[in-house]
Chain A
Amino acid sequence: MSQALIELVKQSFPDAVLESHSQLGDDTLVLAPGRWKEVCRFLKDHEQSSMNMLIDLTAVDFPNREPRFEVVAHLYSLDRGHRLRLKTRVGDRDGETVELDTIADLWGSANWLERECYDLFGVTFVGHPDLRRILLYPEFDGHPLRKDYPAERIQPLLQYRDEPNINKVAPFGPDEGMPFGRQTHKFGIEGEDDHLAPRPRVITPADN
């Protein structure tokens, strides 16, 4: 449905489109990160595309890729009823500098979506009016949806009570007469290497 749109962008920005594909009516453009904002503005303003709504903006972490993060935006045109998915790839392998131009001045909804993306993935949106954490608290260290954030690492805002066996979780399990135990699983990433070694954990339920 939006394949004409893909052709339009390809003709207008031949060097900005890295690849494109269409799968079951979902049309996707992968853009060069430097031309992200430019293409977004084009898609919003051009009469033929008229993308006046940003549905969603998020990121995916591919820890073994370079660039590591894939930022995904879903656009929708209320006038014309067509959709387009935009992707771009940013960030070095360490995840230290992950930068992308903001599109918060194009679509208002991008403001909070980019804050969420910054909060959970650590993607810095350059030029964002108010880039701070939106879901987690300011004291939080790190970005929890990155694959190298240890699954069991928690950062309590409040000191836990000073009680014996405080890390024990209730209901207390089959040993104490309750059939509901809690299992803990350890997950690994396929092809995991050293730079993804988990940082020291704080408190885990397995410390019982």
Chain B
Amino acid sequence: MGELKPTTTSILEPGQQSGFATTKFEALLAWAQKYSLFMNPFVTACCGMEFMAVSSPRYDFSRFGSEAPRFSPRQSDLLWVVGTIVQRQAPILKRIYEQMAEPKWVLAFGTCASSGGFYDNYACVAGIDKIIPCDVYVPGCPPRPEAVLDGLMLLQDKIQRGDRTPGIVKPRIDPVQAPDTALVQLRRSRSSAPPAGIKP
């Protein structure tokens, strides 16, 4: 991921009542695409509650142009995979993805969709990227609505840049940058002492 570079060059003289703007066709198309994401929520687990919170008026991702939910994959551009995907469900998810028309994007909502989370077992897929290509990962169990909005804006940024490499939403407070947080201290104390009662 790089810095956001301006791809549109608009020439609009200050003070003019009318004017014109020049841009590249790809940039204009990407601009249109990133603000008209029709979404297909594939909600399987508890992250769905947080998805509802993001879509409801308090956080409201309609503000970002991701307004219309389409419950047919054939009409949608953005597949939200919200929740745990088990092995039995994997063919269904793949089929939904294949039914979507190009161009299409996938957002992994929450730790389970991103990596399987703590469901590291016989039943679950360790991340939807094992099955379908994934554009944005939003970690969190469940992620805060702010993180989801960060993920959506990251995706829009990637659409504008034409970037298809996977992006990960970083925490707003990076524990690496802020080493005195309680989380880091907890992690250090745990990693120094091996858990009791477990054979190596």
**A residues touching B (Cβ–Cβ < 8 Å)?**
135-137, 144, 149, 151-158, 160-161, 166-167, 169-172, 174, 177-180, 182, 184-188, 205
User: Is B166 positioned at the interface, with any CB of A under 8 Å from its CB?
Assistant: yes
Docked pose: A199 CA to B160 CA in angstroms: 49
Using A160-B131, A170-B115 as known contacts, say yes or no to A179 and B175 having CB atoms under 8 A apart: yes
A169 partner residues in chain B, CB cutoff 8 A: 115-116, 126-127
Q: Interface range on chain B: under 10, 10 to 19, 20 to 34, or 35 or more? A: 35 or more
A155 partner residues in chain B, CB cutoff 8 A: 87, 122
B108 partner residues in chain A, CB cutoff 8 A: 170
B131/A158 in contact, CB under 8 A: yes
B87 partner residues in chain A, CB cutoff 8 A: 137, 154-158
25 examples of A-B residue contacts, CB within 8 angstroms = A136-B123, A144-B121, A144-B123, A152-B120, A154-B87, A154-B121, A155-B122, A156-B125, A157-B87, A157-B90, A157-B91, A158-B131, A160-B131, A161-B133, A169-B116, A169-B127, A170-B114, A170-B166, A171-B114, A178-B168, A179-B175, A180-B139, A184-B120, A187-B198, A205-B120
Nearest-CB residue, chain B, relative to A166: B130
Which of B88, B115, B195, B199 sits near A171, CB closer than 8 Å? B115
B88/A157 in contact, CB under 8 A: yes
B139/A153 in contact, CB under 8 A: no
